[in-house]
Amino acid sequence: MVGLLRRSIATRYGAILMLITFGASSALLVFSLYVLQGVYNRVSSVGQDAIEASIVRQVSRDALLLGETLANGLSDPLYLQDFSEIQGILSQLMDRAEIGYIYVYDMDRRILHDGTTDLLSYGEPLGARVPAGLGNHFKPGARPLGQYLHVVYPIKSGSAIQGAVRFSMSYSAAQTDIDKASQQLTKTLGGLRQEVKLILLIGFVLLVLFTLSLSVAVGRCLTRPLKELAARSREFRAHDDRVRFNLEREDEVGELADALEQMRLRVQSSHAEVSRLAFHDPLTGLANRRLLQQELESMLLDCEERGESLAMMFIDLDHFKQVNDGAGHDVGDQVLKVVAARLQQLVVDASLDGVVSGAKPLIARLGGDEFTLVFPLCDSACTDTLAQRVSDLFAEPVSFGGERFSVSASIGVTLYPDDGKTAQDMMRHADIAMYAAKHAGRHQYCFFRQDMTTQLQDHLMVLQGIDEAISESQLFLEFQPIYDLQTNQISGAEALIRWNHPEHGLVPPGRFIPIVEDSDRIEALTLWVMERSCRALHRHILPQMADFKLSLNVSGVALQSDRLRDGILEILLREKVPPRNLRIEITETTMMRNVEKCAETLRHWQHAGLRVLIDDFGTGYSSLSYLTTLPIDGLKVDRSFINNQVPGNYCPVVEAILALSKSLGIQSIAEGVETEYQLQVLREMKATHAQGYLLGRPMALEQLLERLGEVEVG
């Protein structure tokens, strides 16, 4: 009950109303009963008095009348002293029980007759026979005294009074009448009182019942709109968007309803906004990952129902990090917006071309530089065309703020139902395909194949294991000596990283470096190599050979990072290694990707005394102009050119490169020298330095140190 009272306003209100009514009614009832009792007592008392007075008056009147009649009847007999007649008259009265005494007496108040046959009281004085204080004995009167009414009436003969008759009448009969009348009155009044009590009680009960039902009705009436509002709130909560709170009332509940309606509008608006934020990318306005997942599932269902196919493309912008790092995030964001706009335009065009089916394609930005396209297709055969069109979107650089940004994209394509049935599979496979595209050299698209999952596993193994490898010393360095061809002495070495995986054994650098390069772990790896190299230099190598030059491979990606740039210098300083003993090798391809930023970093290093070598020179799209403008100490001729140096096959490229470096006044280091013939040719071409299996395989530091002590190449 308490719980009910606490829960229900209507019940509480009804209970309060009931209590008030019950209290007031009870008080009124008690007061009414009290008043009724008072009225009853007064009416009863007054009524009984009135009855008594009335009956006494009536009895007195009757008695006087009787007295008069008696007196008239006795007149003649008295005159005639006719005692028998008198007795006859009186005896009729004497027979009556209520008569106490009866006397006829003369003017001397002596008894003439007492109604008895013997008449023995004859002549006696009246005074001895009747009570005192009866007043005049010869004047008509009826005086109540004690239990009797004492009546006197004069007996006249003509006008002369000759005596009087006096008698007493008991009140007993009258009293009986009075008692009867009083009892009747009491009974009637009692009945009346009971009736009134009953009516009051019934009225009380009816009032309480009426109030109860009224309070229930009023309570319901009051709470009905509240309940209605609560019900609507529940519906609203259950995402029924048709719900409106307006009740078309002008009272407080109406105000509440209006307020709720306002709140609903606000919530709906906020909900729309939240929903938009939750399911859309704020920057581009495209769907986000969450919406993609939802939509993809429903799109797959639709396709399944219609028997259509669906293409999903994962688009990852190549080297977009460099844009962000180089031009700032604002510019990066603008570039992303342009990309998004191009994708949207493409979708429109593709729809117009009838490539996609009736269902609307979906474009999503998954975060960073990742976009996804989902095309419900009429014919899966046109997927290739479509992928090509997407890839072509990125052919033209993005112009912004007077700058042009070449943004290529690696695109992974997967098909429903051929490659996967679920949204999860589709996304995973598209991701794998995208990585494959990226791995295959970026700026291309790649269709998913089942064997890609193995690559992905490698990829994951690298990404998940590299941090552990760094911290648990699974990595180590090997040093491949570089010979000065003029002195035939070791002039330096190239530090090469090795990963001894606890499960997979020795992991080839070609297998994990590209993966790490594409991730943000490249920084940590670079710094680790830097630190270990410097330590080896400082502690072991330089004490033996002061002008030893150690080459380190630094990814072009790392050149875009100011943090890495400064970190390298810090390690140099910390490990107390002279900058001239260190050379940074940067591949031509990576350097060319963001020339401006790369040049800035190189100049910074140059300023600190570091030297830079262009690795794999001749394989990329080099602009010869930067060779003159950038602080470059040497070129490393790519091993592919050296490999071509076989007897009978002249390779002019090597000679050209060597000539170029000579003319620029910088060193040239031939990589991959594996035969005496190649070495001989290089000597003839005046190459300054060389490295390769012929001269020395990559080796541990201890071996290198040993080699330093003995070296003398013939």
Site residues (vs another protein, CB under 8 A): 79-85, 87, 117-120, 122-123
Q: How far is the CB of 97 from another protein (least distance, A)?
A: 23
Q: How far is the CB of 116 from another protein (least distance, A)?
A: 9
Strands 99-105 and 160-170: antiparallel
Q: How far is the CB of 154 from another protein (least distance, A)?
A: 19
Q: How far is the CB of 69 from another protein (least distance, A)?
A: 22
- 157 contacts 79 by C-beta, under 8 angstroms: yes
- 491 contacts 549 by C-beta, under 8 angstroms: yes
Q: How far is the CB of 77 from another protein (least distance, A)?
A: 9
Q: How far is the CB of 124 from another protein (least distance, A)?
A: 12
- C-alpha–C-alpha distance, residues 480 and 459, integer Å: 27
Q: Return the number of the residue (107 or 348) whose C-beta is nearest another protein.
A: 107
Q: Return the number of the residue (83 or 204) whose C-beta is nearest another protein.
A: 83
Q: Which residues contact 186 (CB under 8 A, 6 or more apart)?
A: 44, 48
Q: How far is the CB of 89 from another protein (least distance, A)?
A: 13
| Cross-strand partners of 478 | 496
| Cross-strand partners of 160 | 157
- C-alpha–C-alpha distance, residues 168 and 99, integer Å: 6
- C-alpha–C-alpha distance, residues 347 and 280, integer Å: 17
Q: How far is the CB of 79 from another protein (least distance, A)?
A: 8
Cα(first)–Cα(last) distance of the chain, in Å?
Answer: 109
Report CA 650 to chain centroid distance, whole Å.
76
Q: Is the peptide bond before 417 cis (omega within 30 degrees of 0)?
A: yes
Q: Return the number of the residue (86 or 366) whose C-beta is nearest another protein.
A: 86
> What type of residue sits at position 372?
T
- C-alpha–C-alpha distance, residues 260 and 485, integer Å: 88
Q: Return the number of the residue (78 or 670) whose C-beta is nearest another protein.
A: 78
- 637 contacts 677 by C-beta, under 8 angstroms: no
| Cross-strand partners of 582 | 550
Give the long-range contacts of residues 91-100, CB within 8 A, separation 24 or more. 91/115, 93/66, 93/167, 97/170, 97/172, 97/173, 98/169, 98/170, 98/171, 98/172, 98/173, 99/167, 99/168, 99/169, 99/170, 100/148, 100/167, 100/168, 100/169, 100/170
Q: How far is the CB of 167 from another protein (least distance, A)?
A: 20
**Of 64, 76, 57, residue with least CA distance to 139:** 64
Q: How far is the CB of 102 from another protein (least distance, A)?
A: 17
